[in-house]
């Protein structure tokens, strides 16, 4: 087995009394192999992928799902506690180099882990894990100096440090090139001024992977990524943002006021930050698709279970043809998306550029999640309109898929670029 030893219950501290409302609505059976594929005949997974999923599933069922309702109410999950548990078991460094504490596996294992994280009964916790493993750290792992990796990457993989990603700003989200935060070199330090918006885990993070303008050059060549400890003077968490979903995950706005950080904290080459950020988009997007696929699976499964026992007009809701036909349509689309994900992943691990396929999968994932959430919620009737059931949480949480990490329209633009259909300048 290539990963760290299987998770054992007694490795983890108890986190307090569980509140099990939404979690109780589904069977507790392991969903590690929830997809239609068997463990021996899968397009991209080997028995080792399935063993990894199984091991992660135990952590999810024992250490995460029983507490999700509590964290949703609190508007935050205990990132340090949960990341330590995941880090101890190796799940925060699946694709990271072995010499820095990672498992050194290929990206298909990251897809497997993301799929399994989709069994968490909310979107906020998996999103924060994804930021830690596949959004804030890939550039550091690829291009960071050995000293920087030792200081920031190793503890992040171990779960001793929580990290966040500082790209989006109040005035720049889709248009990353127009960020305004500046890092001006003064001697052997950068002095940082500006601010970041929508920072996932920003209220709990020990460090930020910050994208800032380090020169006045052209927008694609003037940006750098910097490892920024979050306890430095001049860093102010302005506010925690109230959101329609993803409640377990804290999202903050942060300001930088003459924050001084050593120039050695720059990741890779100065001026390459934008390029590094773009390079990891294929992985980020496939990761997001894998995650939401499992969530959609679970919502459909829950809906079948509920509508089978809920009777209207003397028969189960499910037996009305419009209901079971619609669920069959959604399931079909889900399988199409799953095939695209596995194909893109298989090509990617062989070294191909899958930007077009990853963008298509992200676009479809966002749109399908909206359809699944809306249709399934409808079949729960008034119950679907309460916050007591998974389907309503999914309806709220999954809406982000079409906005975050590249909105649907950004995906369409990328696909058009590959189709050579954009208007010529
Ligand atoms: C809960 C949450 C967590 C987040 N976490 C992080 C994080 O940890 N780190 C981080 O850096 N960012 C984070 N983000 C930011 C996220 O990536 C941005 O919200 C996203 O990139 C969109 O940017 P924006 O909100 O500024 O929207 P805008 O850029 O203002 O776009 C608005 C809308 O314009 C449309 N649009 C965009 N491009 C085009 C186009 N080419 N043609 C036509 N229409 C278009 C889209 O419909 C888009 O939704 C998070 C956001 C949320 C809501």
Residue 257 pLDDT exceeds 60 = yes
Residue pLDDT, tens place only, 73-129: 999 999 999 999 999 999 999 999 999 999 999 999 999 999 999 999 999 999 999
Is the separation of the CB atoms in 272 and 149 below 8 Å? Answer: no
Contacts 24+ apart (CB under 8 A), 382-386: 383/306
Can you give the pLDDT at residue 315?
97
Q: Please tell me the distance between residue 405's alpha carbon and the centre of ligand 1 in angstroms.
A: 7
Residue from 164, 407, 417 whose mutation best tests the ligand 1 pocket (most atoms within 8 A of CB): 407
Percent of the chain scoring above 90 in pLDDT: 89
Mean pLDDT, the chain, rounded, equals 92
Can you give the pLDDT at residue 30?
41
Can you give the pLDDT at residue 41?
86
Residue 35 CA to residue 85 CA, distance in Å, equals 26
**pLDDT band per the 50, 70, 90 thresholds, residue 37:** low
Q: Please tell me the distance between residue 278's alpha carbon and the centre of ligand 1 in angstroms.
A: 15
Is residue 284 among the annotated active site residues?
A: yes
Q: Measuring from atom 42 of ligand 1, which residue has the nearest CA?
A: 409
- SS3 for 394-414, per residue? HHHHHHHHHCCCCCHHHHHHH
Residue from 404, 408, 412 whose mutation best tests the ligand 1 pocket (most atoms within 8 A of CB): 404
**pLDDT band per the 50, 70, 90 thresholds, residue 39:** low
What residue spans of 101-159 are helical by DSSP H? 107-117, 124-130, 138-143, 146-148, 154-158
Can you give the pLDDT at residue 388?
85
Q: Measuring from atom 13 of ligand 1, which residue has the nearest CA?
A: 198
Residue 19 pLDDT exceeds 70 = no
Can you give the pLDDT at residue 219?
87
SS3 (DSSP) at 41 = strand
Residue pLDDT, tens place only, 123-162: 999 999 999 999 999 999 999 999 999 999 999 999 999 9
Q: Measuring from atom 40 of ligand 1, which residue has the nearest CA?
A: 409
Q: Answer with the residue of higher pLDDT: 6 or 316.
A: 316
Choosing from 63, 284, 335, 409, the catalytic residue is: 284
Q: Please tell me the distance between residue 172's alpha carbon and the centre of ligand 1 in angstroms.
A: 8
Q: Spell out which residues line ligand 1, taking CB within 6 angstroms.
A: 131, 164-168, 173-175, 198-200, 243, 246, 251, 400, 403-405, 407, 409-410, 413
Residue 14 pLDDT exceeds 50 = no
**pLDDT band per the 50, 70, 90 thresholds, residue 1:** very low
Residue 422 pLDDT exceeds 90 = yes
Residue 23 pLDDT exceeds 80 = no
Q: In the block, which residue shows the tokens 């909206």?
A: 370
Residue 21 pLDDT exceeds 50 = no
Q: Please tell me the distance between residue 404's alpha carbon and the centre of ligand 1 in angstroms.
A: 5
Instruction: Tell me the helix, strand and coil percentages in the chain, rounded to 5.
Output: 50, 15, 35
Residue 25 pLDDT exceeds 60 = no
Residue pLDDT, tens place only, 187-211: 999 999 999 999 999 999 999 999 9
Atom number, ligand 1, closest to the C-alpha of residue 413: 41
Q: Please tell me the distance between residue 177's alpha carbon and the centre of ligand 1 in angstroms.
A: 13
Task: State the average pLDDT over residues 368-387.
Answer: 98
Q: Answer with the residue of higher pLDDT: 17 or 244.
A: 244
Percent of the chain scoring above 70 in pLDDT: 91
Quote the tokens at residue 114.
Answer: 């993301």
């Amino acid at each position: 087995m290539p990963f760290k030893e299987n998770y054992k219950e007694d490795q983890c501290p108890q986190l307090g009394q569980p509140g099990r409302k939404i979690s109780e609505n589904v069977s507790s059976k392991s969903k590690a192999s929830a997809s239609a594929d068997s463990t021996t005949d899968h397009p991209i997974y080997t028995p080792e992928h399935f063993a990894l999923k199984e091991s992660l599933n135990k952590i999810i069922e024992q250490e995460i799902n029983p507490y999700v309702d509590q964290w949703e109410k609190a508007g935050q999950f205990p990132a340090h506690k949960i990341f330590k548990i995941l880090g101890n078991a190796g799940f925060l460094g699946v694709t990271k180099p072995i010499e820095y504490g990672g498992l050194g596996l290929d990206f298909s294992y990251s897809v497997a882990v993301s799929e399994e994280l989709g069994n968490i009964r909310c979107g906020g916790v998996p999103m924060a894990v994804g930021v830690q493993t596949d959004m804030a750290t890939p550039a550091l792992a690829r291009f960071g100096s050995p000293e920087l990796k030792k200081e920031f990457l190793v503890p992040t993989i171990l779960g001793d440090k929580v990290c966040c990603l500082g790209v989006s700003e109040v005035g720049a989200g889709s248009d990353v090139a127009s960020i305004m935060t500046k890092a001006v070199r003064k001697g052997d330090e950068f002095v940082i001024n500006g601010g970041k918006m929508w920072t996932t885990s920003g209220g709990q993070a020990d460090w930020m992977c910050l994208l800032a303008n380090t020169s006045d050059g052209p927008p694609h060549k003037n940006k750098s990524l910097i490892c920024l400890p979050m306890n430095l003077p001049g860093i102010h968490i302005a506010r925690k943002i109230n959101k329609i979903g993803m409640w377990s995950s804290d999202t903050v706005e942060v300001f930088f006021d003459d924050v001084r950080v050593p120039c050695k904290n720059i990741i890779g080459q100065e001026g390459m930050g934008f390029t590094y950020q773009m390079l990891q988009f294929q992985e980020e997007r496939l990761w997001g698709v894998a995650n939401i696929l499992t969530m959609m699976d679970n919502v459909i499964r829950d809906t079948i279970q509920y509508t089978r026992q809920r009777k209207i007009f003397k028969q189960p809701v499910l037996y009305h043809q419009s209901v079971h036909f619609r669920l069959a349509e959604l399931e079909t689309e889900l399988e199409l998306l799953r095939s695209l994900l596995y194909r893109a992943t298989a090509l990617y691990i062989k070294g191909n550029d899958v930007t077009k396929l990853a963008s298509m999968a992200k676009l479809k994932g966002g749109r399908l999640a909206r359809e699944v959430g809306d249709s399934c919620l409808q079949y729960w009737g008034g119950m679907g309109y309460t916050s007591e059931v998974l389907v309503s949480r999914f309806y709220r949480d999954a809406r982000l898929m079409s906005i975050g990490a590249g909105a649907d329209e950004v995906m369409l633009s990328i696909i058009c670029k590959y189709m050579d259909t954009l208007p010529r300048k």
